[in-house]
Chains A and B, each alone.
Chain A
């Protein structure tokens, strides 16, 4: 059945990959990619860096060229928000947009991504309290970066990326994190502390264990953030970066199982056995070989690799999605690369680098290497990603000797 009409809802990283891979694998029928933003699929990582510095354009962010959609016969429909799905139970159905426009499809894929969580605090609706997900958000943020003081609520990846970019532009930045360390449970405490020190060296003030109580305004615009301990932080601009919520509402309303994301199997099939869900919106089996947990991944790697695997399901030659998840985050002078998914209680083997600001924290479960957190250490990152992908052991005792390059251990 690769001749019917394929409809992909959500024109982002995963949606763009899915239509490309479907065509590569021989999907011969019509393909429609519908997105609610006014832009063709673009890359989001530069939104917290190059876009804020004014160094990127819509064209430079584009994931595919206009010629691609034309040559591949992909009907790209922008500025249309799908608000309702009718599913027949056998994969086909109808999607209806807010404008009233509708599409009948033989096969449906959801690639709706995630949206920033907001804080339910007094003053959260003041002008100048913003979030960052879309190009429109980034452009608005860039226009406001001439403020004296920026408060970033949330010490996660996006918040720290923006903090570093803004500090480099001369803004006074305070990061307010409710938890005990930065980047939550995603990285080890060792890495979190070293990263914190680097941000502080770059002039960013970092407060952990600090809870915002309310946003205080001055004539409708934010002027300060008040913390639970009474501290008042001046703020001409507040970025709330406290994580994202999967956009699974459409799927839920259509009767598909959702549990903090559209629940899919290793073939990216939702509970009706036909509809696909890929990228940030999906709750999926961990693709790491040997793992049996379920999770949601918010990364370019996952959006791309899951969508590629899902395309095999579409064309009737289903291959499960497997691979070693990886992620990167550029925070000022820090190139953070993470290979593999550690459990929060996995142990840490720290390998200091040959110069300051460069190190690798290897994560071990017993003698088994589970992940690596690499800071300005791209070679280590490559070694670990390769070792995990090929199921090769890296002995813990040997890895602890920072004098021996990691790549020697793979030879």
Chain B
């Protein structure tokens, strides 16, 4: 099972066991991890699932797409080099991912 470790802006951590094929966004929302809203369900319409992806996983996922790039540029919390929309981070078997949740999504 893939695992995702979510770090809140205040430093508290929570590890969630996800299903293969779930996105980092879905794993958070389904398990009630606060701070990732994912309102549009992953259709790249809302940008409420912004996360900072730990640099060591940067190459484990497909690069930032065009719409994702556009939306991150104007995200509610300022973009950093490792910003991603977590609906685009789809988990594979055995994968372990660390992300940090921004201050605000809206």
Contact = CB atoms under 8 A, between A and B. Distances in A.
A23 B32 CA distance: 10
Given A300-B39, A301-B39, A304-B37, A335 B45 contact: yes
A20 interface: yes
Contacts of A379: 70-71, 73-74
B106 to A, nearest CB: 7
A381 B74 CA distance: 9
Contacts of B71: 378-379, 381-382
B14 to A, nearest CB: 11
B11 interface: no
B70 A328 contact: no
Interface string A334-346: 0101000000000
A407 B31 contact: no
A264 to B, nearest CB: 21
Interface in A296-346: 300-301, 304-305, 323, 326, 328, 330, 335, 337
B56 interface: no
B47 interface: yes
A68 B43 contact: no
Contact of A328 (B31, B43, B74, B75): B43
Interface in B61-91: 67, 70-71, 73-76
A305 B67 CA distance: 24
A386 B47 CA distance: 11
A318 B46 CA distance: 27
A65 interface: yes
A72 interface: yes
B44 interface: yes
B68 to A, nearest CB: 9
A323 B67 CA distance: 24
Contact of A65 (B30, B40, B47, B106): B30
Contact of B39 (A64, A304, A378, A381): A304
A271 interface: no
A328 B41 CA distance: 11
Contacts of A304: 37, 39
17 contacts: A23-B32, A45-B43, A64-B32, A65-B30, A68-B30, A301-B46, A304-B37, A326-B46, A328-B43, A335-B44, A335-B67, A382-B70, A382-B71, A382-B75, A386-B74, A389-B106, A410-B74
Interface of A: 20, 23-24, 43, 45-46, 62-65, 67-68, 72, 300-301, 304-305, 323, 326, 328, 330, 335, 337, 378-379, 381-383, 385-386, 389, 407, 410
Interface of B: 29-32, 34, 37, 39-41, 43-47, 67, 70-71, 73-76, 106
Given A304-B39, A382-B73, A383-B74, 10 more contacts: A23-B32, A24-B34, A63-B30, A67-B31, A68-B32, A326-B46, A379-B74, A382-B75, A407-B74, A410-B74
